[in-house]
């Protein structure tokens, strides 16, 4: 009888020890599982952060390209590559524009004023430009003050709304490039009138619009 009791006690102790070990193993397994899940979540978060960093870097590269120009009142920009090009010659300007800010703006302004009006093209372009600024959220903060098109050049004035002229010009180049009605070879020049809070653009009809 005593041997039986001892055997039962030993069996009971062994069972308790097994249960205790099993419980501890189960707890450790659960903890390990949670740690793995936490690590996986951190890894996914890190990957998302890395992706965001890459996007930010790309955006920064674009901004740096835009800001390569010097701060100046008159610039030219092509919608084909959406890059600002300083007319001082630090960035090579289009071959059809002169390397002098004042001369370039004055020449294009005189050319615009001397032109007659191609009514069909002018009316269509004016409507397209008005719709572009009205319907594009990124441009809607800069209401059009006036827009007049002639034969090969449009003059557009918009409210700068305390935004840098380079930033607005870069946006305009981007969205003009996405349209079907704007010649991708065309360029434009712009000038910021800080006292009036406006930015003026002369937008070419095609790649030859500013040639004499």
Alpha helices for 161-205 (secondary structure H)? 165-177
Please give the Cα distance from 171 to 133 (Å, whole number). Answer: 10
pTM for this prediction: 0.55
Task: Quote the pLDDT of residue 162.
Answer: 84
Instruction: Decide: 203 and 153 in contact? Cβ < 8 Å.
Output: yes
Task: Quote the pLDDT of residue 127.
Answer: 96
Please give the Cα distance from 101 to 189 (Å, whole number). Answer: 10
Q: Which residues, in sequence order, are bridge partners of residue 187? A: 78
SS3 209: coil
Task: Quote the pLDDT of residue 95.
Answer: 40
Task: Quote the pLDDT of residue 66.
Answer: 46
Task: Quote the pLDDT of residue 22.
Answer: 55
pLDDT tens, residue order, the chain (212 aa): 555 555 655 556 556 555 556 565 666 666 667 777 776 666 665 555 555 555 455 555 544 554 444 344 444 554 444 334 433 222 333 443 333 455 788 899 999 999 999 999 999 999 999 999 999 999 998 999 999 999 999 999 999 888 888 888 999 999 999 999 999 999 999 999 888 999 999 999 999 998 76
């Amino acid at each position: 009888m005593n041997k039986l009791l001892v055997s039962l006690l030993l069996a009971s102790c062994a069972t308790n020890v097994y249960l205790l070990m099993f419980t501890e193993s189960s707890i450790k397994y659960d903890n390990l599982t949670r740690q793995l899940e936490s690590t996986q979540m951190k890894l996914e978060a890190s990957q998302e952060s890395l992706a965001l960093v890459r996007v930010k870097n790309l955006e920064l590269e674009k901004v740096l390209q835009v800001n390569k120009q010097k701060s100046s009142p008159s610039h030219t920009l092509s919608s084909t590559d959406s890059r600002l090009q300083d007319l001082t010659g630090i960035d090579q300007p289009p071959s059809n524009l002169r390397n002098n800010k004042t001369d370039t703006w004055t020449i294009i302004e005189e050319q615009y004023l001397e032109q007659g009006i191609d009514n069909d093209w002018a009316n269509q372009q004016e409507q397209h430009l008005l719709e572009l600024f009205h319907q594009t959220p990124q441009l809607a903060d800069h209401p059009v003050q006036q827009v007049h098109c002639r034969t090969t050049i449009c003059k557009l004035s918009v409210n700068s709304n305390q935004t840098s002229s380079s930033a607005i010009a870069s946006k305009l180049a981007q969205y003009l490039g996405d349209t079907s009605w704007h010649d991708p070879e065309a360029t434009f020049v712009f000038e910021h009138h800080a006292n009036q809070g406006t930015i003026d653009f002369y937008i070419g009809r095609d790649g030859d619009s500013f040639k004499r």
